[in-house]
A and B are shown apart, each in its own frame.
Chain A
Amino acid sequence: QVQLVESGGGLVKPGGSLRLSCAASGFTFSDYYMSWIRQAPGKGLEWVSYISSSGSTIYYADSVKGRFTISRDNAKNSLYLQMNSLRAEDTAVYYCARGPLRFLFDPWGQGTLVTVSS
């Protein structure tokens, strides 16, 4: 079955960096766009970024543009999110999701928590 497993979350100080990973299995990873979506504690969902199947097309939300970098390694069936210049407002559970496929995100991983605090 399709499975997405995120890792790399943790506690980081404001201004610090963190790299999230998402390991995919159960489908042909290189055929699909992939995305990062986050959810601040007790808040709603916020799209962060997506990357095309080849990696040639990338989009970011304005809130992370210039600070976050999405990438993928199709040989390793893995998606990444490099997060720099982290702020308190970046504190959230970060989900990896397959898609968008016709702008549907499905399925989602279980998420990894990033806490930005001094």
Chain B
Amino acid sequence: NFMLTQPHSVSESPGKTVTISCTRSSGSIASNYVQWYQQRPGSAPTTVIYEDNQRPSGVPDRFSGSIDSSSNSASLTISGLKTEDEADYYCQSYDSSNVVFGGGTKLTVL
């Protein structure tokens, strides 16, 4: 089994851009899709990015996803930060039948 490692926390000011990384410990990041979920306090997770870089309808285009094979990592970038973006963000991928979530990153918009 592999692990997905995320920074514990990041913070940035409103209007700025922040990038959250998700590094895969073994196996290629490109071999299985990566999803990103947003979880606000007291709420269930919701999808902000699926299949590496696809945005569900209703998710603003300020959210974007990418993968980088050289660092074996995926990234979630949020531009034009708003206070409402303050939440926990989780990456998720899989390997055959096994599903793996990253440990989560707390985004503070201050």
Contacts and interface: CB of A to CB of B under 8 A. Distances in A.
Are the chains A and B members of one assembly?
yes
Contact of B35 (A37, A46, A105): A105
A40 to B, nearest CB: 12
B104 A44 contact: yes
B46 A103 contact: no
Contacts of B102: 44
Interface in B13-60: 32-33, 35, 37, 43-47, 50-51, 56
A105 B51 CA distance: 11
Interface stretch (A24-32, A66-74, A106-114): A106-114
Contacts of B47: 104-107
B44 A95 contact: yes
Interface of B: 32-33, 35, 37, 43-47, 50-51, 56, 90, 92-94, 97-104
25 contacts: A44-B90, A44-B101, A44-B102, A44-B104, A45-B37, A45-B45, A45-B90, A61-B98, A61-B99, A100-B99, A102-B50, A102-B51, A103-B92, A103-B99, A104-B35, A104-B50, A105-B35, A105-B45, A105-B92, A106-B50, A106-B56, A107-B47, A108-B44, A108-B45, A109-B44
